Amino acid sequence: MIELDRVAVVYGRGPRATRAVDGVSLEIDRGESLALIGPSGCGKTSLLFAIAGLHAASGGEIRIGDEPIRGPRREIALILQDAGLLPWKTVWQNANLSLKLRGEYPASDAGEVLEELGLLDVKDRFPSELSEGMKRRVGVARALSTAPDVMLMDEPLASLDTLTKERIQDLFLRLWKSRGFSLILVTHDIEEAAFLGQRIAVLTERPASVRTIVENDAGDLDYRESDAFRATVRRLREALEESR
């Protein structure tokens, strides 16, 4: 379980300090998916980076199990908005980067993950030779190569066209169900939040706090076509309007 207890994130000090997150308390069970949505610039990414251990919480505490998060953790993987690929490295090298940094490559490699994601045939290509959808999948492969218990995603499908976005959302759903990791997704896309989040936390304007949590029936590939999905989308739109 991941537990956030009255978490605050503040940048800077003194009169110029900016409070990005203010008193967020959440629990995410093992294998659960949680989506975070809210107004632009409200502090969603700041909260996600604090969970990743990349930015220390200025107040409160974040725990995984019974242990406070004080920095990056081996069991937590993060997928960034632009996939974060190194342009001078091949698909194979990018996918294996996390394992290499941990000293686990070449004893372990991302070959099985690349095959699962349909990328093994392009393993010798560079990012500039890939479509945007393929680049995002390489980012997913790099994150999955370490077999994380917790997957954090920061707007992973921003700027993609609708059909490509939906195909990769389907991929995320299949991977989440087959691998059993906890998933925390930051997104501006209401339909993406409704499709992938079993629970959706709607955050307020900056500094972010939890305005409401919407329970959701996400978990099936055909959920987009259901009345329950459309009802959740309507509830989220209403909650976002109220949070402004």
Q: What tens digit of pLDDT does each residue of 120-133 get?
A: 999 999 999 999 99
Q: In whole angstroms, what is the distance from residue 33 CA to residue 35 CA?
A: 7
Q: Which pLDDT band holds residue 148 (cuts at 50, 70, 90)?
A: very high
**Domain ranges (residues) in the chain:** 1-75+190-244
Contact 203, 20 (CB under 8 A): no
Give the separation between CA 7 and CA 191, rounded to whole angstroms: 27
Neighbours of 219 (CB within 10 A): 14
Higher pLDDT, 193 or 65: 193
| Tens-place pLDDT, residues 45-103 | 999 999 999 988 999 999 998 899 989 998 999 998 877 899 999 999 999 999 998 88
- Report the pLDDT value the prediction gives residue 243, as an integer from 0 to 100: 65
Q: In the Cβ-directed half-sphere of 79, how many Cα atoms lie within 13 Å?
A: 29
Q: Do 66 and 3 touch, CB atoms closer than 8 A? A: no
* Alpha helices, H only, 180-226: 190-196
Taking residues 16-37, report their average pLDDT.
94
Query: Per-residue confidence at 158, pLDDT binned at 50, 70, 90?
Result: confident
CATH class of the domain comprising 1-75+190-244 = alpha beta
What one-character DSSP code corresponds to residue 221? G
Beta bridge partners of 18: 11
> Rounded distance, CA 28 to CA 55, Å?
19
CA distance 201 to 239: 10
